[in-house]
Amino acid sequence: MVMPVARHRHHHRDVDPPELASGERGPQHAQRRPNNSAPATGRDRSMAKRVLPRLTVDNRFFWESGADGKLRLLQCRDCETFVHPPYPVCHACLSDRLEPQVVVGTGTVDTYTVNYQKWRPDLDVPYVIARIAIDGAGDVILTSNVVGCPAEEVRIGDKVRVVFERQDDVYLPLFEKVA
Ligand SMILES: [Zn+2]
């Protein structure tokens, strides 16, 4: 059994997971509340308000994909390589014929790290940042959170499936363990 956390310790930031995304939305976004949300004095019981990704022409499909409960990744129509993060050109064959493709939405925990640092007052710790190898999507690995179980129950090799957490017009793809 290898030590789980050290293997990719320095690489887990390279895909901007929701918790680590550097792009802030505009202030009007941060302050807007859905009509059915908790009163201003309360907050979501299950999950802290996340820093949302900055939507671009290339990545908007990815962050809005969960609207119908499906995970989509960019796939090259010429060589079938999956390209993530979204990019205008296939890194394998340089084709620009890329289009979002529905994937099954399950995967395997490739590596993970547990965050105990309370970066913001509303952040519930500990939480798990994991790299998820996505089934049927070649080499694509998503950096996300494993939710729905205590942090200490996450292991490398765990099978997980996507669950979407909607915040404003973004559907964050998170993952929960498959029972
Ligand atoms: Zn290609």
pLDDT tens digit string along 34-68?
A: 444 434 333 343 455 677 899 999 999 999 999 99
Rounded to the nearest angstrom, the distance between the alpha carbon of 127 and the centre of ligand 1 is 36
Residue 123 pLDDT: 80
Q: Which helix (H) or strand (E) holds 144?
A: strand 141-147
Span from the CA of 2 to the centroid of ligand 1 (angstroms) = 34
To which H or E segment does residue 110 belong? strand 106-115
Q: Which two tokens stand for residue 11?
A: 């690489």
133: number of Cβ within 10 Å = 16
List average pLDDT for each run of 10 residues in the chain, which is 179 residues long.
42 42 38 41 48 92 97 98 97 97 98 92 90 97 96 97 95 95
Q: What is the pLDDT of residue 49?
A: 66
Distance of CA 178 from the midpoint of ligand 1 (Å): 32
Token look-up 């680590």 returns 20
Q: For residues 8 and 27, what is the distance between their CA atoms, to the nearest angstrom?
A: 34
